[in-house]
Amino acid sequence: MKKIKTTKNTRAPKQNVTTQRLVDVPFKSAKSLKDAQDQIRLQVWRRLEEAKVINEMLKLDNYKFWHDEFSHGLVCSYVEESDMSLVRVSSEGNGIKISINKALAVSAPLGETVLTQLVRAMSESFAQTYYKAKGMIPTSDIAKKGELDIH
């Protein structure tokens, strides 16, 4: 058996792995990249911790109203009400109810896609406004600030 002798190619300069990783990202150094990654990890950790605390607090009797609101969820149904417009979104007690006038939905020159989009848009708009009004979604001031001042 003949042994093949290999020689190292010294013509190509050795590439720095860190420099190669930084080529496609907006960072000039590995430290600045790592610092940005640490900031993202901190933000995600904060969101997860907040979710964990919310989940724990929802189990307390004082906050049963919040849990009940979402446990009843979103209900969508056809109704037989002649004096109603095409779609109505409301809250009667806990949860959100979407009522679709069956007679108008069948006879209206709307395709199923248009009706679906209408229901989706109305329910999203109503839910956001409704839950903000009930204090269940933070207002933009609180969201921007990122924390509550409790004295």
Same domain, 78 and 47: no
For 86, the token pair is: 């095409």
Residue 56 has pLDDT above 80, yes or no: yes
Helix (H, G, I), strand (E, B) or coil at 87: strand
Position 7 in a domain: no
User: Are residues 77 and 54 located together in one domain of the fold?
Assistant: no
Residue 141: predicted pLDDT = 56
What integer best gives the mean pLDDT of the chain? 76
- What range defines the domain where residue 116 resides? 73-134
Any idea how long the chain is? Answer: 151
The answer to whether residue 1 sits within a structural domain is no
**Looking at the domain assignment, is residue 18 inside a domain?**
no
Q: Is the pLDDT at 133 greater than 70, yes or no?
A: no
Residues 88 and 116 in one domain: yes
3-state secondary structure of 74: strand
Per-residue pLDDT band for 109 (boundaries 50, 70, 90) equals: low
Domain count, the chain: 2
Contact assessment for residue 79 and residue 97, using Cβ atoms and an 8 Å cutoff = no
Kindly state whether residue 11 falls inside one of the protein's structural domains. no
- Helical (H) or strand (E) element with 39: helix 30-58
Question: Which region among 29-33, 72-76, 138-142 has the lowest average model confidence (pLDDT)?
Answer: 138-142
